[in-house]
């Protein structure tokens, strides 16, 4: 059985993207949430989009963005998919999928079995789900904080959509995470960094190797 798909998220530089390509990840995440230390300016997106062309699936990460900003980012980064990490309800998710004609991923923030159950509401609205750790109340960012959740909460999840795992993943635990959850995709951001937003090529390489060989 092949390992899961691998997404390196929050890539902002050509060097980090090159490391992601060389490590044989399958997806790259471009973060378009301005408060994030991994925010990618629209002016910087076209060059990275070109570099990733034909090598990685380009996923744009958004938090309650408006349609105009989404449209600009989709063009600038040549996005292959849209990841929604805010409070977007199923109707909003379905509307964006219809408007832009791109696969839409919805992040489900998890701290309890009730949170996992919320995924069912997106079964016909989204194309893919990403289970992430719920951030503390008052946190400035909805993700990228290196927080994990109890992966056993996903053992009974049998929804109709493909799904991935995010939150607190790192080279040291990704193999166990992939094995214990059976996730179709593993997603990492801060776990392959040596500082906020600063990707490390060695950690990217080790993460991808360990995920593939889980």
Task: Give pLDDT, residue 214.
Answer: 87
pLDDT of residue 84 exceeding 80, the answer is yes
**What pLDDT, on a 0 to 100 scale, did the predictor assign at position 155?**
84
Catalytic residue among 132, 150, 176, 202: 132
Question: Which position among 9, 15, 66, 202 bears the catalytic label?
Answer: 9
Residues 6+ positions from 207 with CB-CB distance below 8 Å:
6, 8, 23, 169, 170, 171, 174, 188, 191, 192
Active site residue 43: no
Q: What average pLDDT score do residues 86-113 get?
A: 96
Could you give the number of structural domains in the chain? 1
- Which CATH number is 156's domain given? 3.20.20.70
Model pTM score:
0.94
Q: What local confidence, expressed as pLDDT, does residue 42 receive?
A: 98
Inter-residue contact 27 to 57 (CB < 8 Å): yes
Residue 25 is classified by DSSP as: -
What pLDDT does residue 2 have? 73
Q: What is the pLDDT of residues 113-162, one digit of tens each?
A: 999 999 999 999 999 999 999 876 655 555 555 678 899 999 878 889 99
CA 154 to chain centre: 17
Helical residues (DSSP H) of the chain, grouped into ranges: 14-22, 45-52, 67-76, 90-100, 113-117, 174-181, 201-212
15 is catalytic: no
Q: Which domain holds residue 37?
A: 5-212
User: What mean pLDDT is predicted for residues 79-84?
Assistant: 98
* Burial class of 151 by CB neighbour count within 10 A (0 to 12, 13 to 18, 19+): buried
Q: Is residue 1 over pLDDT 70?
A: no
Is residue 171 classed as helix, strand or coil in its secondary structure?
A: coil
Phi-psi region of 10 (alpha: psi -120 to 50; beta: other; left: phi over 0): left
Nearest-CA neighbor of 186 among 133, 114, 124, 130?
A: 130
Interval 155-194: pLDDT, tens: 878 889 999 999 999 999 999 999 999 999 999 999 999 9
Angle at 42 between CA 38 and CA 43, to 5 degrees: 110
Token pair, residue 26, equals: 């399958």
**Dist CA 126 CA 208 (whole Å):** 26
| pLDDT tens digit sequence for 19-70 | 999 999 999 999 999 999 999 999 999 999 999 999 999 999 999 999 999 9
DSSP state of 118: G
Would you say residue 16 has pLDDT above 90? yes
Per-residue model confidence (pLDDT) at position 141? 56
């Amino acid at each position: 059985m092949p390992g899961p798909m691998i997404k390196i998220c929050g890539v902002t530089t050509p060097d980090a993207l090159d490391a992601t390509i060389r490590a044989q990840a399958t997806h790259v995440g471009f973060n378009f949430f301005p408060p994030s230390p991994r925010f990618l300016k629209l002016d910087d997106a076209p060059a990275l989009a070109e570099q990733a062309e034909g090598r990685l699936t380009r996923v744009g990460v958004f938090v309650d963005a408006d349609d105009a900003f989404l449209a600009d980012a989709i063009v600038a980064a040549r996005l292959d998919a849209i990841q929604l990490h805010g409070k977007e309800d199923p109707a909003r998710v379905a509307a964006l999928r219809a408007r832009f004609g791109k696969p839409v991923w919805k992040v489900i923030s998890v701290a309890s079995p009730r949170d996992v159950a919320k995924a069912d509401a997106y079964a016909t609205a989204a194309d893919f789900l990403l289970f992430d750790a719920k951030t503390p109340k008052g946190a400035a960012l909805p993700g990228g904080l290196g927080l994990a959740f109890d992966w056993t909460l996903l053992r009974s999840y049998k929804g109709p959509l493909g799904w991935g795992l995010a939150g607190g993943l790192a080279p040291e635990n990704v193999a166990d995470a992939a094995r214990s959850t059976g996730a179709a995709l593993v997603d990492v951001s801060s776990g392959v960094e040596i500082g906020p937003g600063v990707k490390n090529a060695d950690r990217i390489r080790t993460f991808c190797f360990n995920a593939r060989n889980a």
